[in-house]
Structure 1
């Protein structure tokens, strides 16, 4: 038994020794294989390993054959075998014969493909350019026709020559901390892209290419990735599927579609983009917006067609400053001063964010602002937009079913509302603004029909001060270097007609009743209550900011209110004179004695409305009230006898 156990232990020990020997032999074989391969590689690359000029010449020839770029190096060229075979070449410059592309780099590092190396050939699988400075002419063709890429571009599609060139191997290019200056003969502007850290993976001419990495433009870091299904087809002028993504603080962009280069550049696909601030984004390209407003929090998605210098966006979904639109837009002249046109529709168009950026209308003293205008119309793009809105809001007012037209051209802004519903009525208007750098000139006209004045008053003042159905027209023009100067130059005419109207807080009917019975108590009785009237008319002739009130009249079955005077628009003040008269035949009260002496007219209540627009004062004609007092009238009769030139009856009946 013990002998059997001893035999088994001896067998196990022998097995372990054999396994260790086998493992050692395997490791030795692997090591020997590596040494042999290394020896083969060293022997094959010996001509380049010990000759920098031969190494440099071989690399330059490969780059020239593939890209057509002439290569010059002025530094050391070192071949490194381990851990990966690669070459380091210092102070390298590249240039194409036409000068469309120039590259200078202090260090080129190229990694070789192993299999060709074992066969005695140096073929670069990937290359890295460190701190490369590039100058790129966007109008040129940097790959000459005697290079592999040039021959592939010149080959006709679906031919034997195209098939041969498509099979040529390329590789992977890494740009590390590079920069590129982009120029064009058609534009004086140059664009500098810095901190370029990207990888271009294009391993075969006929295969897909991928670009991924980051760059810096106008101090903004941009992460980018692009995939091109057939880059060689683009070189031949054909189309290729493409996807592109950009991520930057000012822009997030994603596109996918089909790209072509002949007969001109064109793209057809889908685009999605967001930007927190459009003004900041346009400023990167030295562009500006022709309209007021923040233009923040923008989200865009659309079917996009770009052809050469023009772009069209259909099936558009646009969010901007809290507004949401659908429709179509088109842009012409993308490389110069673009022209934007299109039609948009929205359920709610809020103008409040855009009106907030307009120059201040009033100053801290409550008067018109004296802050000078500051416009830059020379930078404005041309617009031609049509917008339809179920609701158009410019707080605190709101229109419904509004059609809006916005046009800018040569520093002039044209705004039009061809049709809109306004407070149960209809509104249409047009304004033309000429914008110089420090001056605003305008012309405007508007028409109202059947506007509910009570609803309008509720929005304007927070309470129903006025009521009725308003129909009117206005034609105005003016200009100035600030709001105060502009208001003092307004010229034009306004005509207003009101049906079934009312005035809250002014009890004229009650005042006339007190006038016949207790005229001295009228001042207290007139405040509060309301005045109803069937129709009213008002005409304003405006000259140099002063509006003269003509043909002012309110009348009902029980009273007639005539008024006139003027309002100074520049000074925001009013000086109105009014006479309220009861309609004959409706009052059964006896006429006061002094009324008979004035020609038998009904008693009148005269008052003035004077002061600032913000706090006008109603001032009754106290003298006429005392005349209507039975107790005081005899005193005035005696005085009128003693005064040969008393007030005429005409003056007593005219405002």
Structure 2
């Protein structure tokens, strides 16, 4: 018989069966088969539609799972449709080809013990599918359309919407697979899951598993094994990839630290997940062009904790510190923008990092060992050892916060460093060269860099050798002024003053640096300084004495007081004029004369005789203004005789 004829007979048979078939029998047969295959006992609360021709299906409206011990049902479905196989239906056999659930609402509530409201249903499915159990003919696919999943555990609540999935039910093999799309936190996500031994996985036994999710924020993939006896255990290879880790962190509800960096991210590691903790070994991680290897652990038991030990060849921290501006852009003033300290209170961090080379802006460090600890909102950074400025740096930096106020403590030792590079990077001072040691113990509190500068307390000591101070040549200046004190300083703001040793001790109190001991000894001259420097205004107010060494001029040492005032990056340096006048043989007597009143009056009288200038009114005393009214004479006073 031709195929067309067979199809015609089948169509006629289905048409006739649609009138003769007992729909109640078909409905009950389909319900029984669903229960037998899935192990799920469901309740139909709405209408039931049965169709044989032209479509062969049974649709149940308002369906929910029965039992489970939860007030809210674990699963409710607006419409559950079972599509029937055509040929068995002609022989009065009712076999489901596949099922479709329209607008299912799935609720998963997981307790701290690992049990959930789905535990009874999973156990029922496992009993139904266990080896040795009578296996009826099974449908091979369950489709989910426009579904919603609500998940809740003691620490998290999640919602997946607009779920469109296809579940490959293990009708022949023992494997299970799901693939499709869903909305998660405002992003459309592609997902897939395959389980090599579905029965073992349902029973909590070890089974192979592959999982993948891919969306705009991040791509994640896992290939390994899973078991869930006492607690969830997963072991395998984990890979992650994101074009912007900052966006990915925001997507998962984490506030990314700072405002710079955290762009391109990739990770591959051997993962071991036990309960809420995951340990990563053989880690290869890339972030913003930096690559590192090591181990990491992460746990979430109400508060997130990240621990890591990583090693790298070269690291560039510039993206993370480029937005931290101590000085206002294009100005000499401190930045007054408020700190953003929210990132210090979300996660606990314990990290050890070593690198052969570290770049921070224009600074390049050699072999470096760093430690970072963030706990309870307090950040502690430690530098075990870093090759920096041609020397070695060790120290610590702590930041604690209360609301928007940061409490900062820093303690660093710079050993045998290049003073020019060190002073330029740390203080913005570009006039010092040589090598030396710098020790600092500082603390401050404020809501901005300017606030920290205002409250700065602590001490700093500097010892240097074999260097120079650029901007003036003390030796040339002193020799010229020694010969001609009143010749003028001339253009002395050039050249440099070399030194053999430099010793500096400074104490900070509320942003004011007081020079306790500043001595500069050079081959031809030496300098001593006293005074203060304002950290908030970045200005000097110092007085010093410069002197020639006796061996330089063959006589007694020539001393010259001088003053340093003005901004740190371009101060004014000028000699004390009174000391220059005193050193002039012709001008010194005049200076003394001006200071003595009797001599001053005598000199004025002589000058008036020679010049013929008429006598002026007497100069008022300092404590008696010249325009003060005189006392009126008595009315009866007689005029004096000439």
Class of the TM-score when normalised by the shorter of the 2 chains: 0.7 to 0.9
For the 8 Å contact 1:492–1:542, the answer to whether it is kept is yes
CA separation in 2, counterparts of 1:144 and 1:438? Answer: 50
CA separation in 1, counterparts of 2:302 and 2:490? Answer: 70
In the alignment, what sits opposite 2:30?
A: 59
User: Could you list the per-position Cα deviations for residues 461-508 of structure 1 after superposition, in whole angstroms to 9, with x for gaps in the alignment?
Assistant: 999732111112111112123332322211111111001111122211
**Aligned pair partner of 2:353 in 368, 384, 387:** 387
Show structure 2 runs of 5+ residues with no match. Answer: 600-642
CA separation in 2, counterparts of 1:360 and 1:558? Answer: 38
Match status 1:110 vs 2:82:
yes
Match status 1:34 vs 2:10:
no
- My pick for the range that moved more, 491-500 or 310-319, is 310-319
User: Could you list the per-position Cα deviations for residues 353-372 of structure 1 after superposition, in whole angstroms to 9, with x for gaps in the alignment?
Assistant: 22234476537764223333
Show structure 1 runs of 5+ residues with no match. Answer: 1-25, 156-161, 592-600, 645-655
Question: 1:566 Cα shift?
Answer: 0.6
User: Could you list the per-position Cα deviations for residues 143-201 of structure 1 after superposition, in whole angstroms to 9, with x for gaps in the alignment?
Assistant: 64798623157x5xxxxxx24467863420111121122223x24x4322111111011
CA separation in 1, counterparts of 2:28 and 2:136? Answer: 24
Match status 1:608 vs 2:581:
no
Q: 1:31 to 1:395 in 2, by over 3 A?
A: closer
Question: 1:40 Cα shift?
Answer: 5.9
Q: 1:223 to 1:360 in 2, by over 3 A?
A: farther
Alignment of 1:297-316 (within 5 A): 297-316=264-283
Alignment TM-score, normalising by the size of structure 2:
0.85
Question: 1:117 Cα shift?
Answer: 3.4
**Aligned pair partner of 2:305 in 325, 339, 363:** 339
Question: 1:326 Cα shift?
Answer: 1.6
In the alignment, what sits opposite 1:142?
A: 118
Question: 1:622 Cα shift?
Answer: 2.0
For the 8 Å contact 1:368–1:483, the answer to whether it is kept is yes
CA separation in 2, counterparts of 1:126 and 1:511? Answer: 100
Match status 1:237 vs 2:204:
yes
Question: 1:266 Cα shift?
Answer: 1.4
CA separation in 1, counterparts of 2:135 and 2:580? Answer: 106
For the 8 Å contact 1:68–1:143, the answer to whether it is kept is no
CA separation in 1, counterparts of 2:497 and 2:387? Answer: 27
- My pick for the range that moved more, 370-379 or 544-553, is 370-379
- My pick for the range that moved more, 543-552 or 116-125, is 116-125
For the 8 Å contact 1:426–1:448, the answer to whether it is kept is yes
Question: 1:430 Cα shift?
Answer: 0.4
SS in 1 for 2:479: helix
SS in 2 for 1:117: helix
SS in 1 for 2:29: helix
- My pick for the range that moved more, 140-149 or 438-447, is 140-149
**Aligned pair partner of 1:618 in 536, 553, 573:** 573
CA separation in 2, counterparts of 1:235 and 1:168? Answer: 20
CA separation in 1, counterparts of 2:425 and 2:484? Answer: 38
Alignment TM-score, normalising by the size of structure 1:
0.83
Q: 1:416 to 1:564 in 2, by over 3 A?
A: same
Question: 1:140 Cα shift?
Answer: 2.1
In the alignment, what sits opposite 1:3?
A: none
CA separation in 2, counterparts of 1:306 and 1:488? Answer: 49
In the alignment, what sits opposite 2:50?
A: 78
SS in 1 for 2:201: helix
For the 8 Å contact 2:464–2:501, the answer to whether it is kept is yes
Alignment of 1:194-593 (within 5 A): 194-204=161-171, 206-289=173-256, 293-333=260-300, 336-358=302-324, 361-362=327-328, 366-376=332-342, 379-456=345-422, 465-521=431-487, 523-588=489-554
Aligned residues: 593
Larger helix share, 1 or 2: 1
Q: 1:352 to 1:287 in 2, by over 3 A?
A: same
RMSD: 3.0
- My pick for the range that moved more, 603-612 or 460-469, is 460-469
Q: 1:562 to 1:148 in 2, by over 3 A?
A: closer
